[in-house]
Structure 1
Amino acid sequence: MECRSIAALHEKYGPVVRIAPSEIDISDGAAINPLYVKNGGFQKSSTYQHFDFDGYPTIFSTRNPAQRAPRVKAVAPMFATREIVKGRPVVQDIIGGMVFELQRRSAEAPGRPLDVLNLFRALFTDITTSYLFGESLNGLGKQRLTVTTFVNNLFAGVRFFYLPSWLYDHVVRLASIFDKERMRVATSRVIVDNFITRIITKSLAEKETEAQTYQGRLLRAGIPQEEIKSQLLDVLFAGTEAPAMALAKLCWHLAILPAK
């Protein structure tokens, strides 16, 4: 509803719309560079604190450029095109597993709709963890029914993004009480937490061989171990939700417009 309402305002008033006394929404792509890139970008809104994990600001949520810079510098090489190309065989294997799973589900229920969004979240969970962390969370495997529930629950909180900080926590807590999936969410979070704790412990024990992983780079940069867990949760969500949603939308458009 929020997206539709703001889109309607842009349709009526143009690319810049005031949506609150001290807040505007811009729908012009030309604003990306000055807002997010040039000179480090503008300072983020306090609402980004909603996406802190366990009390730690993450690369995504921190509002302090000086705090963000050393963390970004530590992991940035992993996102260089040359490094990503090196990880291509691993990614291709995971995609092959996803295609097999898609075919299996389709064969089990011919002619019925498939939940490709959840499947693609599992896909990108495995890609993100395999490439960045050096080990797959196995979202496409036996734990597929529980692993992606963690991501689903985090994304559900986005609908409250614009709420002020003093209200956000109360609303999220209230929503969780009425969430029919709360037991599965709790199970999913335990699985993810245990996985992340284990790979951080492994990186601490095997510093030489683990130096090129996301967690290994943060450890080498001197980032506290307790914070690294939050940074890994952050990048897991970031690397899963956006591409999964984009791929699901692409499939939806192909399904309703097969001629194209």
Structure 2
Amino acid sequence: NRAYTFHADPGFSFGEGWYLAAAALFAGLAIQIRPGAVQEVPARRFLCDAGLEGSVRPYRSRPASPKHLTHIIAEAFRADAAKAQCTLRAAFLGEESPAASLRSWIAGKVAGKPEEKVLLWVRTGNHDALRNTCFAELRQLSRLVVNAGLIPIFFGDNVPLELVPPSAVDLTLGWKEPLFQGPDMRRAQLQLFEELRCRHGLVGQMGVTTAGMDGPALLGLPTLYLTQERNVRLGKWVGAVPGYQEVVREPGYCEIIRTTLQQWQQ
């Protein structure tokens, strides 16, 4: 079986779908979806909208291993980063403007905060829990963002309210809103980030290694991810995907973050 499984169950990483769809666009890979999966309809809708309907095959056991998908993406970006990014933006975002309901929802969340903003991703899942967000570090990241004159936008899993400063925007668990749970849930989430970037001053994103960040990263949002040691899979994107940065938790790593925040403001 040479088809790669596009996971459509909430228990699997939502962001892994970005890898597979991107690699399929670049290398013509075959894709399969488990029939009856909870998010089968949104998955098929996303692939169809991305021009990958012809890549979908009947579901079979023993699918191809996805470990080298990030390598395929890195090679496409190294060959021609502008072309690769254009391909993904056209496929993932399409030509239609975001729905008025989405724009209204976003405007309501960031009302009265015109300053430039940074997404702070929060991960608290059960899978590979050692990679989860450390709340002490999250507080430190938030302070760095605020001290740089930027507004943090918390996004992803839930976070204790005491960690969210008064100036921040709290969009944690926002992905559970009906707006982002319909048949077009994948495109809607990417349109959320794009709308924040184009209309509300979003200049970058940072967090632990969570695949959810990689959709907007591939579409051009400057990205900094924190890791305990060099990441073999995602490290291939550093120097290939524009604005994609890996920061290992070594002495002085906060200074690297501080410098990056200054660069994002320029």
- TM more than 0.5: no
Instruction: Report the TM range for the smaller structure's normalisation.
Output: under 0.3
Q: What is the TM-score when the length of structure 1 is the normalising length?
A: 0.28
Would you tell me which structure has more helix in proportion to its own residues? 1
TM-score, with structure 2 as normaliser: 0.27
